[in-house]
């Protein structure tokens, strides 16, 4: 049966093209995931088995095997790991080069663009370089050192500042050259890896008045791109006379792409919850709608077929360029061009073969596309529509085409996009299908009407009149679109927060969908497919409910020179100690960007206790995020009379839930079986004792003890040592390893085996050399988050081990092996 199916598939060339692109993609994943040897070995075994069983010809297997290595080496040659700017970062620098992306402004008014640096100026001397960096320019009235909060006026100033910069312009910029943050915690977004997809390895921060334009002649390419950008900005400016926010931003996103005009945060939130966020960025759907309506109108006007097709090709190319050539738009444009070219030559192309060929072309040109979420979503949804939708339409063939298309296309698309959405965004929009069905006629009008009005607006004498007339029609349609989004967004449970599925679970999910599709299409082999579907479904269900372990686990998050810890007891109760730093000028707190992302991925919502050691911003900066977004049973603090703004906000928010209390000295806050969590508060008055007044936490399980000192040191330790066990296996060193947080007497008293120092780049000299020497002289194995990233400690009632987060495999690796507590 398998042999007959494969032989039949191989005879159909589109299957060969499909599997060719799949093999190439496997080669790319082998490169990016660092699994080349394992993947090559598995492919070799599978290939040999297929040849021995006469499933595949040796030539085809050899071709695919060589293609795998071609993908790997093409990626290794095309994707760089560093450049000359990366080698000298971080430092203050002056660089000269060219803006190579369309400048955009984010919600805090800052202007951002990619910048190809050709010179770096040091000591009044210029040195040639060839590197790309990502520049953030702060407007005059909103400097990086300013204490002025962001206002709508400042945002508009930033928006207007975009016009000062243009793609293709040459600038000399003075500012701070830095390396982007990289994921050092599980579930953390890796900004460095993201920028690497654009061959960018540094970020550059500058103020507007430190940027000066250098007059240089433009090549034809940059003149063209700059002209396109100018045209786009002029059209948006004309529309802005007749459309107000948020209608202007929505139309700009639909017609020109998501970097045209950034929509307000409340609109983004509404469209995320309703499952309509995709329409705020030009996509393949827009390409199809624009061409479809163009073809319909020209055929009704009796324009010859060839002229209609040729003009349609130019229309979609022009539209794609105007949108900034995102991956989904490129995919749709290339597919449509190949299809239309085939029509002109009386040749039909198989859709799956064509999709595979386009994917292969794009990935050969730029292997980094494989890491782009837009690329993944676009191709997976299109593949699902090509494979599953026709089967569904055939099953409901008695239904009118327009009705079945309007109903089943959004359903099929949502089925195929769901696991990728959950993998990247930990969410699922419950009413997405209904919302997408409801907005289809609105989107059709907006896509074509917005594009046509923009094309006609190129004619300067009539641009104002055209935009005015079109916007009279488009404005109520945009308002209707916003109404639909707000309606579905406001329904109960509109956005369901999910755990992050594993790659294996995603593979099982898509295998089930394909089996069900085959089951509907080929009834004669239903028994085999039903069996396979049931086995796959049961396997998926089993993986969705992992057996909880009975270990005591501690996650030490890498939050730079700050503290944030998660404890899991053997009874699967969770405790948080501190919350990292607050966000800089409205940016995400570390609690939001690091800890909450991990909790979402693991499906952890309920917290038994949250200990805020004290109210310094590097310990309590993200506390409000925890209190607002988690179900916390108890919040523990060292005082209810602290005068800082952070403390007052915590008192108010936690007080609303009536679950905040002051820690008593030697207080047990949790005890179940052999597991005890105890807290200490020495309560000494005076500003000089802020750090020593940190809540100290002792976590004990059988004979295994961990002591978390907060920012406290020897002074506080001497006042609680009488309550402590004879030995402490793991000591979280106080105040990021500063001076006077440990001494010989303290180490002799508790005799720790492991020391944890939570630290990062700082101006305080943390950790202090004296502290490190003391730990070393006592033969304490020291782990630092600035060296080992996030750290995980596991105790299984007998032994414990320390694990360090490995960025390459996105998981923890054992650093110590099993260590047996000795009492």
| pLDDT tens, residue by residue, 691-747 | 999 999 999 999 999 999 999 999 999 999 999 999 999 999 999 999 989 999 999
Confidence check: pLDDT of 486 > 90: yes
Q: Which two tokens stand for residue 102?
A: 């369309």
Q: Which 3 state secondary structure label does DSSP give 349?
A: coil
Q: Which residues pair with 731 in a beta bridge?
A: 707, 755
Spatial neighbors of 116 by CB under 8 A, at least 6 apart, are 97, 98, 100, 131, 132
Q: 662 and 614: one domain?
A: yes
Confidence check: pLDDT of 183 > 50: yes
Residue 150 maps to a domain: yes
CA torsion 696-700-706-712 (nearest 10°) is 10
Residue 588 CB neighbours (<10 A): 16
SS (H, E, C) 37-84: HHHHHHHHHHHHHHHHCCCCCHHHHHHHHHHHHHHHHHHHHHCCCCCH
pLDDT digits (tens, 9 = 90+) for 322-370: 777 777 778 788 888 887 777 776 665 677 888 888 889 989 988 988 8
Per-residue pLDDT band for 7 (boundaries 50, 70, 90) equals: low
Higher-pLDDT residue of 510, 280:
510
Question: What is the DSSP-derived secondary structure letter of residue 547?
Answer: P
Provide the sign of the torsion angle of the four alpha carbons 346, 351, 355, 356, taken in this order.
negative
Dist. CA 818–CA 233, nearest whole Å = 62
User: What was the pLDDT predicted at 685?
Assistant: 76
Q: Which of 283-287, 516-520, 622-626 has the lowest mean pLDDT?
A: 283-287
CATH number at residue 705: 3.60.15.10
Per-residue pLDDT band for 606 (boundaries 50, 70, 90) equals: very high
Q: What is the mean pLDDT of the chain?
A: 86
Per-residue pLDDT band for 107 (boundaries 50, 70, 90) equals: low
Confidence check: pLDDT of 158 > 50: no
Q: 190 and 333: one domain?
A: no
Q: 756 and 702: one domain?
A: yes
Q: Which 3 state secondary structure label does DSSP give 819?
A: strand
Sheet strands (E) in 187-305: 202-207, 211-214
Work out the average pLDDT over 463-470: 92
User: What was the pLDDT predicted at 745?
Assistant: 95
Residue 410 maps to a domain: no
Confidence check: pLDDT of 527 > 80: no
Residue-by-residue DSSP string for 405-421: HHHHHHHHHHHHHHHHH
φ/ψ of 32, rounded to 5, equals: -70, -30
Work out the average pLDDT over 501-515: 88
Nearest CA among 476, 452, 447 for reference residue 462: 452
Higher-pLDDT residue of 376, 125:
376
Residue 820 maps to a domain: no
| H or E segment to which residue 294 belongs | helix 284-300
Domain residue limits at 195: 84-216
Tell me the chain's radius of gyration from C-alpha atoms: 30
Confidence check: pLDDT of 597 > 50: yes
Confidence check: pLDDT of 156 > 50: no
Work out the average pLDDT over 563-591: 90
Confidence check: pLDDT of 102 > 50: yes
Residue 338 CB neighbours (<10 A): 18
Residue 288 maps to a domain: yes
Q: Which residues pair with 567 in a beta bridge?
A: 554, 575
Work out the average pLDDT over 204-209: 90
User: What was the pLDDT predicted at 425?
Assistant: 84
Residue 55 maps to a domain: no
Q: 439 and 572: one domain?
A: no
Q: Which two tokens stand for residue 557?
A: 């998050």
Confidence check: pLDDT of 1 > 60: no
Confidence check: pLDDT of 12 > 70: no
Per-residue pLDDT band for 147 (boundaries 50, 70, 90) equals: very low
Confidence check: pLDDT of 475 > 90: yes
68: left (phi over 0), alpha (psi -120 to 50) or beta: alpha
CATH number at residue 171: 2.40.50.140
Q: 647 and 725: one domain?
A: yes
Q: Which residues pair with 497 in a beta bridge?
A: 427
Q: 779 and 693: one domain?
A: yes
Confidence check: pLDDT of 194 > 60: yes
Confidence check: pLDDT of 235 > 50: yes
User: What was the pLDDT predicted at 584?
Assistant: 64
Residue 345 CB neighbours (<10 A): 7
> Which domain-ending residue is among 450, 471, 497?
497
Provide the sign of the torsion angle of the four alpha carbons 810, 90, 784, 571, taken in this order.
negative
Burial status of residue 324 (CB atoms within 10 A of its CB: 0-12, 13-18, 19 or more): buried
User: Which percentage of the chain shows pLDDT scores above 70?
Assistant: 92
Per-residue pLDDT band for 259 (boundaries 50, 70, 90) equals: low
Q: 259 and 305: one domain?
A: yes
Residue 53 maps to a domain: no
Q: 754 and 662: one domain?
A: yes
Q: 313 and 450: one domain?
A: yes
User: What was the pLDDT predicted at 340?
Assistant: 79
Q: 206 and 234: one domain?
A: no
User: Which percentage of the chain shows pLDDT scores above 90?
Assistant: 41
Q: 235 and 184: one domain?
A: no
Dist. CA 169–CA 49, nearest whole Å = 57
Q: 662 and 712: one domain?
A: yes
Confidence check: pLDDT of 96 > 90: yes
Q: Which of 354-368, 522-536, 677-691 has the lowest mean pLDDT?
A: 522-536
Work out the average pLDDT over 102-117: 83
Determine the straight-line distance between the first and last CA of the chain, rounded to whole angstroms: 64
> Which domain-ending residue is among 188, 216, 244?
216
Give CA angle at 29 (28, 33), nearest 5°.
125
> Which domain-ending residue is among 168, 188, 216?
216
User: What was the pLDDT predicted at 646?
Assistant: 93
Q: Note if the pTM is more than 0.85.
A: no
Dist. CA 201–CA 134, nearest whole Å = 8
135: left (phi over 0), alpha (psi -120 to 50) or beta: beta
| H or E segment to which residue 535 belongs | helix 526-544
Q: Which two tokens stand for residue 137?
A: 């320019």
User: What was the pLDDT predicted at 150?
Assistant: 40
Q: Which residues pair with 203 in a beta bridge?
A: 134, 178
Residue 528 maps to a domain: no
Residue 30 maps to a domain: no
φ/ψ of 728, rounded to 5, equals: -120, 120
Higher-pLDDT residue of 53, 147:
53
Confidence check: pLDDT of 199 > 80: yes
Confidence check: pLDDT of 763 > 70: yes
Q: Which two tokens stand for residue 696?
A: 């100290």
Q: Which 3 state secondary structure label does DSSP give 101?
A: coil
Domain tally for the chain? 3
Confidence check: pLDDT of 402 > 80: no
Confidence check: pLDDT of 186 > 50: yes
């Amino acid at each position: 049966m398998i042999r007959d199916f494969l032989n039949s598939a191989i005879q159909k060339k589109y299957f060969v093209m499909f599997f060719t692109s799949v093999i190439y993609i496997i080669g790319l994943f082998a490169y990016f995931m660092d699994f080349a040897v394992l993947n090559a070995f598995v492919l070799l075994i599978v290939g040999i088995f297929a040849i021995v069983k006469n499933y595949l010809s040796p030539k085809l297997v050899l071709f695919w095997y060589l293609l795998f290595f071609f993908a790997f080496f093409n990626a290794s040659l095309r994707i760089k790991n560093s450049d000359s700017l990366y080698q000298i970062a971080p430092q203050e620098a002056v660089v000269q080069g060219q803006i190579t992306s369309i400048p955009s402004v984010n919600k805090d008014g800052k202007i951002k663009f990619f910048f190809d640096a050709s010179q770096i100026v040091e000591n009044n001397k210029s040195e040639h370089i060839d590197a790309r960096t990502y520049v953030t320019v702060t407007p005059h009235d909103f400097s990086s050192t300013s204490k002025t909060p962001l206002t709508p006026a400042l945002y508009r100033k930033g928006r207007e500042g975009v016009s000062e910069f243009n793609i293709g312009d040459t600038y000399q910029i003075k500012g701070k050259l830095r390396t982007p943050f990289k994921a050092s915690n599980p579930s953390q977004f890796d900004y460095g890896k993201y920028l690497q997809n654009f061959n960018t390895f540094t970020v550059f921060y500058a103020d507007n008045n430190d940027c000066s334009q250098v007059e240089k002649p433009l090549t034809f390419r940059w003149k063209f791109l700059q002209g396109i950008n100018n045209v786009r900005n002029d059209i948006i400016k004309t529309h802005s006379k007749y459309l107000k926010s948020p209608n202007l931003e929505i139309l700009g996103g639909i017609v020109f792409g998501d970097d045209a005009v950034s929509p307000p945060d409340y609109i983004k939130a509404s469209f995320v919850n309703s499952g309509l966020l995709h329409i705020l960025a030009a996509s393949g759907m827009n390409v199809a709608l624009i061409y479809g309506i163009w073809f319909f109108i020209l055929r009704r006007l009796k324009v010859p077929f060839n002229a209609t097709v040729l003009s349609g090709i130019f229309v979609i190319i022009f539209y794609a360029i105007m949108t900034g050539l995102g991956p989904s738009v490129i995919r749709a444009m290339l597919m449509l061009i190949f299809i239309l070219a085939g029509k002109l030559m009386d040749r039909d192309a198989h859709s799956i073969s064509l999709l595979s060929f386009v994917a292969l072309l794009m990935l050969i040109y730029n292997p980094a596309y494989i890491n782009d979420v837009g690329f993944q979503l676009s191709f997976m949804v299109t593949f699902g529509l090509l494979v599953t939708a026709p089967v569904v339409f055939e099953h409901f063939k008695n239904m009118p085409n327009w009705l079945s298309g309007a109903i089943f296309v959004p359903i099929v698309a949502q089925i195929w996009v769901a696991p990728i959405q959950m993998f990247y965004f930990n969410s699922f929009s419950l009413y997405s299908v209904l919302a997408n069905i409801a907005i289809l006629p609105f989107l059709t009008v907006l896509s074509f009407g917005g594009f046509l009005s923009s094309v006609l607006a190129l004619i300067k004498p009539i641009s104002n009149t055209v935009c005015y007339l079109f916007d009279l029609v488009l404005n109520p349609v945009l308002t209707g679109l916003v109404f639909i989004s707000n309606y579905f967004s406001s329904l109960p449970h509109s956005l369901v927060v999910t755990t992050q599925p594993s790659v294996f679970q995603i593979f099982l999910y898509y295998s089930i969908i394909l089996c069900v599709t085959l089951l509907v299409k080929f009834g004669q082999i239903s028994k085999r497919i039903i069996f396979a579907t049931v086995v796959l479904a049961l396997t998926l269900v089993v993986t969705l409910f992992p057996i909880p372990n009975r270990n005591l686990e501690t996650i030490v998050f890498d939050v730079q020179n700050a503290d944030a810890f998660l404890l899991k007891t053997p009874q699967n109760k969770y405790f948080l100690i501190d919350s990292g730093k607050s966000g800089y000028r409205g940016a995400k707190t570390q609690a939001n960007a690091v800890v909450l992302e991990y909790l979402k991925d693991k499906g952890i919502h309920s917290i038994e206790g949250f200990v805020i050691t004290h109210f310094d911003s590097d310990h309590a900066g993200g506390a409000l995020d925890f209190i607002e977004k988690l179900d916390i049973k108890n919040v523990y603090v060292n005082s209810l009379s602290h005068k800082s703004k952070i403390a007052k906000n915590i008192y108010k928010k936690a007080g609303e839930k009536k679950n905040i209390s002051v820690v008593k000295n030697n207080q047990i806050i949790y005890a179940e079986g052999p597991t005890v969590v105890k807290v200490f508060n020495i309560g000494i008055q005076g500003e000089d004792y802020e750090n020593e007044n940190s809540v100290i936490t002792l976590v004990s399980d059988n004979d295994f003890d961990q002591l978390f000192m907060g920012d406290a040191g020897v002074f506080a330790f001497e006042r609680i040592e009488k309550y402590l066990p004879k030995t402490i296996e793991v000591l979280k060193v106080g105040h990021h390893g500063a001076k006077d947080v440990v001494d010989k007497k303290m180490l002799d008293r508790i005799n720790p085996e492991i020391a944890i120092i939570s630290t990062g780049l700082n101006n305080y000299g943390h950790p202090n050399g004296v502290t490190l020497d003391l730990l070393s002289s006592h033969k304490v194995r020291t782990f630092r988050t600035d060296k080992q990233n996030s750290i995980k400690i596991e105790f299984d009632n007998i032994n414990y081990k320390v694990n360090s987060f490995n960025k390459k495999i996105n998981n923890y690796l054992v650093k110590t092996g099993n260590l047996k507590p000795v009492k």
